[in-house]
Structure 1
Amino acid sequence: METTRTVAVNGIELFLRERGEGPLVLLCHGWPELSYSWRHQIPALADAGYRVVAPDMRGFGRSSAPHPIEAYSIFDLVGDMVALVAELKETRAVIIGHDWGAPVAWHAALFRPELFTAVAGLSVPPPWRGKGRPLDLLSAAGVTNFYWQYFQTPGVAEAEFERDVTATIRGMLCGGFSDPTRSLFVPEGRGFIGRSASSLPLPSWLSETELAFFIEQYKESGFRGGLNWYRNIDRNWDLTAPWDGAQIRQPALFIAGSKDPVISDKMSGKHVAAMERVLPNLKRKLIIDGAGHWIQQEKPAEVNAALIDFLKQVT
């Protein structure tokens, strides 16, 4: 039976969903999501013999959302997971992340290999340190309207998203990153969501009840906390300089959808193709045909089977 509680870790409070007994598995969600995004994985992994813990990550849902932008660096996000393992009275864990949760998982494995003994990333490839700060490189290339850039100025994206939370969440989960034809560039004067978001039909993998849960949570929390993750992109590049060229040597798994815009652009495609350079112990690279970005919600049977097979190998 799944239980929920809130714990104090790393100077904040994290809301947790927990189920099962056995080796610890942490599930880190992305943006704009919640621990609820793992609703199909929590029971499946628990039934397979694991202690599964999925937090609302820092800034999301019922967890703390510190106001300062600087409180959302990759060190803070990984620090939350390190402190969570200690709070759970465990000494090791397998860490799994989707979307923004994937960089948290990859960096947790990179920073603390003795603690995070295996790692899986969904939708976002492992760290690939470019030649400069990501936002600086975009500007140098003449790009001014990528969504990362749109999210930088505090208050701008918040105002758009919070004006109609129902349309925002419907647009994100029913369109947005799940639509391979949708641009991740923000047209001048139109915003990120677009004007037709409220009328988008639900995909087969999402019910009105499930959508309503996300909407109600974001009406309560707002969007600032999650957007602050994006406002540390260049800062994270500076902070991780000591790990330039480092490899993640633990057993690793990568899963993504073939129609996910996050991996289908030219640069990300190169990273996916060459991720063994960062992950020398990559056990499997699973690209699920026809799936989009919300992979663990869209294709739970395939994702669960791959995760359980991986966990059986590494625990």
Structure 2
Amino acid sequence: MDTIKNKLNVDMTMKSSQILINGKSFHVLEKGIGPAVLFCHGFPDTARGWISQMEALANAGYYTIALDMRGFGESYAPVMVSEYSALQIVGDLIGVLDALKIPRAVLVGHDWGADHAQRAVLMRPDRFVGLASLSIPFAPRGKISMWDELRQRGLENLYYAFGMMKEGAEMDFLPSRKSIPSILYWLSASPPEGDRWDPINPARHMLRDADILKPEWADSEYIRYTIRAFEKSGFQGGLNHYRGAQLTFDLMPAFKDAVIRQPSIYIWGEADGLCNFFHPNDPTLEDLSTIHPGIVKVVKLLKVGHFPHLEAPERVSQELIEFLGMIYY
């Protein structure tokens, strides 16, 4: 009995460690025992952004893992943009499973983490058995990349990500003690509707001075940790995910028009400017079933912006637990 109790005490404590993936060092957090759930964060974040969900899911009987994605936090951060295609990043996710001896997992991703998780379930359905996407809807690879499509629409000088792809753009995000609170504030539901970040309105950009220490919904320790993480790492690795997006398109013609067949769920905030740009009309289960044949639920969160897992942590955890129960039990 004591042996079992000791094992439970160890496993139910949040564990932080560095693991080797293909010879490169990555930072991971682990908590819980049970079926595996792998969390992938977006920009600008680290694995610690998932703490609330990891704790809730671990308490519900799941083994939760989150990593600092390539280029972020304490993980491997190559300089070359060619090292940031989805093929390399999906390799990182497979490497996490292999290093921790996990045969299969459900993926949960937010922002760029959602985009990479979507590619992962397409490439390795044998290892990734379900998907929860937050704030980024899945779009199958088409004939031209999203970036070329935006250029054809005349948005190259307006759409925010083109500026983030430019050489030296990481300097615009310094110092992190100002940029992190500003980004979290402007992209959330906290500002008045007419002032929130707009992805195609440069006047309402994410780096405006928010004149706040943190949004009212944000945890102070999370803000301090995130600021310190980017003080140490800088923003080049994070922005390389934007810069590598065209390369991902170029390397994946074999996946043209491929759809996601695993069970999936899409969670988004009604005040998220990016979601409203991608789908100005609320997407329905029927709408998304053509590209997600296995989709089981679309969750629209009121009074929530681009960071559902931070702005509405309990609701997101509740939805994930319900979704996971459909897959694993």
Whether the aligned pair in 2 keeps the contact of 1:263 and 1:272 (CA below 8 Å) is: no
Shift of 1:130: 4.1
Separation (CA, whole Å) in 1 of partners of 2:84 and 2:149: 22
Alignment of 1:207-246 (within 5 A): 207-246=219-258
Contact 1:150-1:186 within 8 A present in 2 as well: no
- Show the 5 A alignment for 1:130-279: 130-143=142-155, 144-155=157-168, 157-162=169-174, 164-176=175-187, 178=189, 181-185=196-200, 187=202, 192-194=206-208, 196-197=209-210, 199-200=211-212, 202-265=214-277, 267-269=278-280, 272-273=283-284, 274-279=287-292
Task: Mark the runs of 5 or more structure 1 residues left unpaired by the alignment.
Answer: none
SS, match of residue 52 in structure 1:
strand
- Which residue identity does 1:111 align to in structure 2? M
Work out which of the residue numbers 101, 104, 107 in structure 2 matches 1:92: 104
Q: Does 1:75 align with 2:74?
A: no
- Specify whether residues 275 and 10 from structure 1 end up closer, same or farther in structure 2 by C-alpha distance, changes over 3 A only: farther
Offset at residue 271 of structure 1 (A): 8.9
* CA–CA distance in structure 2, aligned partners of residues 253 and 4 of structure 1: 28
The CA distance in 2 between the partners of 1:219 and 1:6, in whole Å, is: 20
- SS of corresponding position for 1:90: coil
CA RMSD of aligned residues (A): 1.9
Asked whether the 8 Å contact 2:187–2:273 carries over to 1, the reply is no
Equivalent residue number for residue 312 of structure 2: 299
| 1:184 shift after superposition | 1.9
Q: Kindly provide the amino acid, as one letter, of the partner of residue 29 in structure 2.
A: R
CA distance in 1, matches of 2:14, 2:96: 18
Equivalent position SS for 1:113: coil
TM-score by length of 2: 0.89
1:304 to partner: Cα distance: 0.6
State how far apart, in whole Å, the 2-side matches of 1:13 and 1:272 are: 39
For 1:193, give the aligned amino acid. L
Name the CA distance, whole Å, in 2 between partners of 1:284 and 1:133. 27
State whether residues 188 and 271 of structure 2, in contact with CA within 8 Å, keep that contact through their aligned partners in structure 1. Answer: no
SS in 2 for 1:236: helix
Contact map agreement 2:183 2:207 (CA 8 A) in 1: yes
Name the SS of the counterpart of 1:75 in structure 2.
helix
- Shift in Å, 1:131: 4.0
Identity of matched residues, % = 34
Counterpart in 1 of 2:294? 281
Matches of 1:108 and 1:145, distance apart in 2: 30
Question: How far apart, CA to CA, are the structure 2 residues paired with 1:186 and 1:285?
Answer: 27
Normalization by structure 1: what TM-score?
0.92
Deviation at 1:218, TM superposition (A): 0.6
> Deviating runs (4+, > 4 A) in structure 1?
177-180
Amino acid paired to 1:154:
E
1:193/1:249 CA distance change after superposition, 3 Å: same
Distance in 2 separating the partners of 1:115 and 1:94: 9
* Matching residue within 86, 107, 127 for 1:115: 127
Structure 2 counterpart of 1:84, one-letter code: V
Q: Is the 8 A contact 1:134 1:233 kept in 2?
A: no
Superposed displacement of residue 129, structure 1: 3.0
**How much does 1:220 deviate?**
0.4
- Which of 59, 63, 68 is the matching residue for 2:71? 59
Contact 2:81 2:243 in 1 (8 A): yes
How far residue 187 of structure 1 moved from its aligned partner, in angstroms, is: 3.6
Distance 1:236 1:177 in 2: 28
Cα deviation, residue 250, structure 1: 0.9
- Which moves more between the two structures, 205-214 or 222-231? 205-214
Is the 2:141–2:258 Cα contact (8 Å) retained in structure 1?
no
Residues 98-154 of structure 1: CA deviation (Å, up to 9, x unaligned): 111101111111111111011111111113334412222222222213211101222
For 1:51 and 1:192, locate their aligned partners in 2 and report how far apart those are by CA, in whole Å: 35
Residue type of the alignment partner of 1:182: W
Measure how far apart 1:191 and its partner are.
Answer: 7.1
Q: CA deviation at 1:210?
A: 2.3
Answer yes or no: is 1:25 the counterpart of 2:40. no
SS in 2 for 1:40: helix
In 2: Cα distance, 1:203 partner to 1:22 partner: 34
Call closer, same or farther: CA 1:81–1:280 in 2, change over 3 Å: same
